[in-house]
A = this chain, B = another copy of it.
Amino acid sequence: MAMQKKIDGNEFISEFGHSLLFEHLSFQETQEILNDSFIKTVYEGEYLIHEGDEPSYLFFIMEGALITYRTNDSGDEVSIRLLGRGESCMDAVIFMGSTQSPIGVKATTPTVVLKIPTVILKKCVYKNHELANNMLNTVAKYYGESLVQIDNLAIKGAKESVGHYLLRQFIDNNERQTSFVLKFKKIVIANYLGIKPETLSRMLKELKKEGTIDMRGDKVILKDEFVLCDFCDVLTKKACANSVSMDCSKRPT
Protein backbone atom coordinates (compact mmCIF):
# COMPACT_ATOMS: atom_id res chain seq x y z
CA MET A 1 0.00 0.00 0.00
CA ALA A 2 1.59 3.22 -1.21
CA MET A 3 2.18 6.06 1.22
CA GLN A 4 -0.17 8.96 0.64
CA LYS A 5 0.52 12.63 1.03
CA LYS A 6 -0.82 14.21 4.19
CA ILE A 7 -4.53 14.82 4.27
CA ASP A 8 -5.45 18.48 4.59
CA GLY A 9 -7.35 19.05 7.81
CA ASN A 10 -9.08 22.27 6.80
CA GLU A 11 -10.45 20.80 3.63
CA PHE A 12 -11.56 17.69 5.47
CA ILE A 13 -13.26 19.61 8.25
CA SER A 14 -15.25 21.74 5.84
CA GLU A 15 -16.54 18.60 4.18
CA PHE A 16 -16.96 16.20 7.06
CA GLY A 17 -16.69 18.31 10.22
CA HIS A 18 -20.37 17.85 10.90
CA SER A 19 -20.34 14.08 10.78
CA LEU A 20 -21.04 12.50 14.15
CA LEU A 21 -17.52 11.16 14.48
CA PHE A 22 -15.67 14.45 13.93
CA GLU A 23 -18.03 17.08 15.28
CA HIS A 24 -16.80 19.50 17.97
CA LEU A 25 -13.18 18.56 17.26
CA SER A 26 -10.64 21.34 16.84
CA PHE A 27 -8.43 21.62 13.78
CA GLN A 28 -5.52 20.33 15.88
CA GLU A 29 -7.40 17.28 17.05
CA THR A 30 -8.74 16.46 13.63
CA GLN A 31 -5.37 16.90 11.97
CA GLU A 32 -3.75 14.60 14.54
CA ILE A 33 -6.10 11.80 13.56
CA LEU A 34 -5.64 12.50 9.87
CA ASN A 35 -1.84 12.51 10.05
CA ASP A 36 -1.74 8.81 10.76
CA SER A 37 -4.66 7.87 8.54
CA PHE A 38 -4.77 7.44 4.80
CA ILE A 39 -7.20 7.38 1.93
CA LYS A 40 -7.88 4.32 -0.18
CA THR A 41 -10.16 3.72 -3.13
CA VAL A 42 -11.83 0.34 -3.33
CA TYR A 43 -13.69 -1.17 -6.27
CA GLU A 44 -17.23 -2.52 -6.27
CA GLY A 45 -17.42 -5.80 -4.42
CA GLU A 46 -14.03 -5.41 -2.75
CA TYR A 47 -13.77 -6.57 0.84
CA LEU A 48 -12.19 -4.12 3.31
CA ILE A 49 -12.16 -6.69 6.09
CA HIS A 50 -13.48 -10.22 6.49
CA GLU A 51 -15.19 -11.71 9.51
CA GLY A 52 -12.61 -13.05 11.91
CA ASP A 53 -9.86 -10.69 10.73
CA GLU A 54 -8.23 -8.38 13.22
CA PRO A 55 -9.89 -4.95 13.21
CA SER A 56 -6.97 -2.69 12.26
CA TYR A 57 -8.82 0.33 10.92
CA LEU A 58 -11.92 2.38 11.30
CA PHE A 59 -13.42 3.07 7.85
CA PHE A 60 -14.88 6.50 7.12
CA ILE A 61 -16.66 6.89 3.80
CA MET A 62 -15.63 9.99 1.84
CA GLU A 63 -17.44 8.89 -1.31
CA GLY A 64 -19.42 5.80 -2.21
CA ALA A 65 -21.14 3.09 -0.17
CA LEU A 66 -20.26 0.15 2.05
CA ILE A 67 -22.16 -2.63 3.73
CA THR A 68 -21.29 -4.44 6.91
CA TYR A 69 -22.38 -8.07 7.12
CA ARG A 70 -22.21 -11.37 8.96
CA THR A 71 -22.10 -14.87 7.52
CA ASN A 72 -23.78 -17.97 8.88
CA ASP A 73 -22.68 -21.60 8.65
CA SER A 74 -24.48 -22.08 5.36
CA GLY A 75 -22.47 -19.22 3.93
CA ASP A 76 -25.30 -16.72 3.63
CA GLU A 77 -24.33 -13.11 4.18
CA VAL A 78 -26.71 -10.96 6.24
CA SER A 79 -26.31 -7.21 6.00
CA ILE A 80 -26.04 -5.35 9.26
CA ARG A 81 -25.72 -1.77 8.06
CA LEU A 82 -25.87 0.02 4.73
CA LEU A 83 -23.60 3.07 4.75
CA GLY A 84 -23.11 6.12 2.58
CA ARG A 85 -20.94 9.24 2.46
CA GLY A 86 -19.95 10.67 5.84
CA GLU A 87 -20.68 7.47 7.73
CA SER A 88 -18.22 5.12 9.36
CA CYS A 89 -17.94 1.53 10.42
CA MET A 90 -15.82 -0.72 12.66
CA ASP A 91 -16.19 1.96 15.37
CA ALA A 92 -18.01 -0.39 17.71
CA VAL A 93 -15.94 -3.43 16.79
CA ILE A 94 -12.73 -1.67 17.76
CA PHE A 95 -14.03 -1.18 21.28
CA MET A 96 -15.38 -4.68 21.67
CA GLY A 97 -11.84 -5.70 22.56
CA SER A 98 -11.65 -8.75 20.37
CA THR A 99 -8.89 -9.50 17.88
CA GLN A 100 -11.50 -11.09 15.65
CA SER A 101 -14.04 -8.90 13.95
CA PRO A 102 -17.59 -10.25 14.20
CA ILE A 103 -18.46 -8.46 10.97
CA GLY A 104 -17.07 -8.07 7.48
CA VAL A 105 -17.15 -4.93 5.34
CA LYS A 106 -17.42 -4.64 1.59
CA ALA A 107 -18.06 -1.99 -1.03
CA THR A 108 -21.27 -2.03 -3.05
CA THR A 109 -19.92 0.57 -5.43
CA PRO A 110 -16.49 2.15 -6.07
CA THR A 111 -15.73 3.89 -2.81
CA VAL A 112 -13.20 6.31 -1.33
CA VAL A 113 -12.43 5.38 2.26
CA LEU A 114 -10.48 7.11 5.01
CA LYS A 115 -8.71 4.43 7.02
CA ILE A 116 -7.97 5.40 10.62
CA PRO A 117 -5.67 2.91 12.37
CA THR A 118 -7.17 1.29 15.46
CA VAL A 119 -4.18 2.15 17.64
CA ILE A 120 -4.32 5.83 16.73
CA LEU A 121 -8.03 5.96 17.34
CA LYS A 122 -7.80 4.32 20.73
CA LYS A 123 -4.98 6.66 21.74
CA CYS A 124 -6.94 9.74 20.65
CA VAL A 125 -10.12 8.56 22.34
CA TYR A 126 -8.25 8.14 25.58
CA LYS A 127 -6.68 11.58 25.44
CA ASN A 128 -9.56 13.48 23.97
CA HIS A 129 -12.86 14.01 25.77
CA GLU A 130 -14.72 15.24 22.74
CA LEU A 131 -13.69 12.33 20.59
CA ALA A 132 -14.54 9.89 23.38
CA ASN A 133 -17.96 11.46 23.57
CA ASN A 134 -18.38 11.29 19.81
CA MET A 135 -17.43 7.64 19.80
CA LEU A 136 -19.83 6.90 22.61
CA ASN A 137 -22.66 8.67 20.82
CA THR A 138 -21.79 6.92 17.59
CA VAL A 139 -21.74 3.45 19.07
CA ALA A 140 -24.92 4.16 21.04
CA LYS A 141 -26.53 5.26 17.78
CA TYR A 142 -25.57 2.00 16.09
CA TYR A 143 -27.00 0.12 18.99
CA GLY A 144 -30.23 2.06 18.59
CA GLU A 145 -30.32 1.19 14.92
CA SER A 146 -29.74 -2.44 15.69
CA LEU A 147 -32.77 -2.33 18.01
CA VAL A 148 -34.90 -1.21 15.12
CA GLN A 149 -33.46 -4.00 13.05
CA ILE A 150 -34.26 -6.50 15.78
CA ASP A 151 -37.86 -5.58 15.88
CA ASN A 152 -38.01 -5.54 12.12
CA LEU A 153 -36.97 -9.16 12.28
CA ALA A 154 -38.77 -10.22 15.44
CA ILE A 155 -42.04 -8.31 15.50
CA LYS A 156 -42.79 -6.97 12.12
CA GLY A 157 -43.95 -8.79 9.06
CA ALA A 158 -42.21 -8.29 5.74
CA LYS A 159 -44.52 -5.46 4.72
CA GLU A 160 -43.93 -3.45 7.89
CA SER A 161 -40.18 -3.86 7.49
CA VAL A 162 -40.33 -2.55 3.95
CA GLY A 163 -42.62 0.30 4.94
CA HIS A 164 -40.31 1.26 7.77
CA TYR A 165 -37.29 1.19 5.50
CA LEU A 166 -38.99 3.48 3.01
CA LEU A 167 -39.96 5.83 5.82
CA ARG A 168 -36.33 6.06 6.97
CA GLN A 169 -35.22 6.78 3.43
CA PHE A 170 -37.84 9.49 3.12
CA ILE A 171 -36.64 11.12 6.33
CA ASP A 172 -32.91 10.69 5.77
CA ASN A 173 -32.66 11.71 2.15
CA ASN A 174 -34.47 14.87 1.47
CA GLU A 175 -36.97 16.17 3.95
CA ARG A 176 -40.30 17.24 2.48
CA GLN A 177 -39.62 15.67 -0.90
CA THR A 178 -42.28 13.06 -1.52
CA SER A 179 -40.08 11.19 -3.95
CA PHE A 180 -36.64 9.73 -3.55
CA VAL A 181 -34.32 7.20 -5.13
CA LEU A 182 -33.34 3.92 -3.49
CA LYS A 183 -29.65 4.13 -2.70
CA PHE A 184 -28.97 0.41 -2.87
CA LYS A 185 -29.86 -2.44 -5.14
CA LYS A 186 -33.02 -4.24 -4.14
CA ILE A 187 -31.16 -7.43 -3.44
CA VAL A 188 -29.01 -5.55 -0.91
CA ILE A 189 -32.01 -3.89 0.70
CA ALA A 190 -33.88 -7.19 0.93
CA ASN A 191 -30.92 -8.81 2.62
CA TYR A 192 -30.66 -5.91 5.05
CA LEU A 193 -34.31 -6.33 5.93
CA GLY A 194 -33.89 -10.06 6.43
CA ILE A 195 -36.16 -10.99 3.56
CA LYS A 196 -35.67 -12.42 0.06
CA PRO A 197 -35.64 -10.21 -3.05
CA GLU A 198 -38.80 -11.96 -4.24
CA THR A 199 -40.58 -11.01 -1.04
CA LEU A 200 -39.40 -7.40 -1.25
CA SER A 201 -40.76 -7.25 -4.76
CA ARG A 202 -44.11 -8.63 -3.64
CA MET A 203 -44.37 -6.24 -0.69
CA LEU A 204 -43.64 -3.22 -2.86
CA LYS A 205 -46.30 -4.46 -5.22
CA GLU A 206 -48.79 -4.63 -2.35
CA LEU A 207 -47.92 -1.12 -1.22
CA LYS A 208 -48.47 0.05 -4.77
CA LYS A 209 -51.80 -1.73 -5.01
CA GLU A 210 -52.92 -0.09 -1.78
CA GLY A 211 -51.98 3.29 -3.21
CA THR A 212 -49.40 4.01 -0.50
CA ILE A 213 -46.54 4.43 -2.94
CA ASP A 214 -45.78 4.45 -6.61
CA MET A 215 -42.52 3.51 -8.29
CA ARG A 216 -40.64 4.47 -11.44
CA GLY A 217 -37.61 2.22 -11.67
CA ASP A 218 -35.77 2.75 -8.41
CA LYS A 219 -37.55 6.02 -7.69
CA VAL A 220 -40.17 5.90 -4.97
CA ILE A 221 -43.08 8.34 -5.10
CA LEU A 222 -45.21 8.86 -2.01
CA LYS A 223 -48.83 9.91 -2.29
CA ASP A 224 -48.20 12.47 0.45
CA GLU A 225 -45.68 12.99 3.23
CA PHE A 226 -47.77 11.12 5.81
CA VAL A 227 -48.57 7.86 4.05
CA LEU A 228 -45.69 6.08 5.75
CA CYS A 229 -46.35 7.40 9.26
CA ASP A 230 -47.95 4.09 10.24
CA PHE A 231 -44.51 2.51 10.00
CA CYS A 232 -42.89 4.98 12.43
CA ASP A 233 -41.33 4.23 15.81
CA VAL A 234 -39.89 6.25 18.69
CA LEU A 235 -36.36 6.38 17.32
CA THR A 236 -37.42 7.26 13.80
CA LYS A 237 -39.81 9.89 15.08
CA LYS A 238 -36.91 11.74 16.66
CA ALA A 239 -35.33 12.21 13.24
CA CYS A 240 -38.54 13.31 11.57
CA ALA A 241 -39.12 16.98 10.88
CA ASN A 242 -42.88 16.54 11.05
CA SER A 243 -42.71 15.36 14.62
CA VAL A 244 -41.16 18.63 15.81
CA SER A 245 -43.59 20.87 13.98
CA MET A 246 -46.68 18.88 14.80
CA ASP A 247 -48.06 16.11 16.93
CA CYS A 248 -47.80 12.89 14.95
CA SER A 249 -51.05 11.59 16.30
CA LYS A 250 -52.83 14.60 14.84
CA ARG A 251 -51.68 14.13 11.29
CA PRO A 252 -54.36 14.30 8.58
CA THR A 253 -56.71 11.27 8.40
Type the 1/0 row for A239-251, where 1 means its CB is closer than 8 Å to any CB of B: 0000000000000
Contact of A150 among B94, B96, B132, B153 (CB under 8 A): B153
Give the chain B neighbours of A211 by CB distance below 8 A.
Answer: none
Interchain nearest-CB distance for A52 vs B (Å) = 6
Total residues of chain A contacting the partner, CB 8 A: 51
A133 near B: Cβ within 8 Å?
yes
Residue among B93, B135, B233 making CB contact with A102, cutoff 8 Å: B233
10 tightest A-B contacts by CB?
Answer: A153-B153, A72-B155, A95-B140, A146-B146, A154-B194, A92-B143, A132-B132, A143-B143, A92-B140, A78-B154
Jot down 22 A-B pairs with beta carbons below 8 A, ordered by A.
Answer: A51-B234, A72-B151, A72-B155, A74-B155, A78-B150, A78-B151, A78-B154, A80-B150, A92-B143, A95-B136, A96-B137, A96-B235, A98-B234, A100-B234, A101-B234, A125-B136, A132-B136, A136-B136, A139-B139, A139-B140, A146-B146, A146-B150
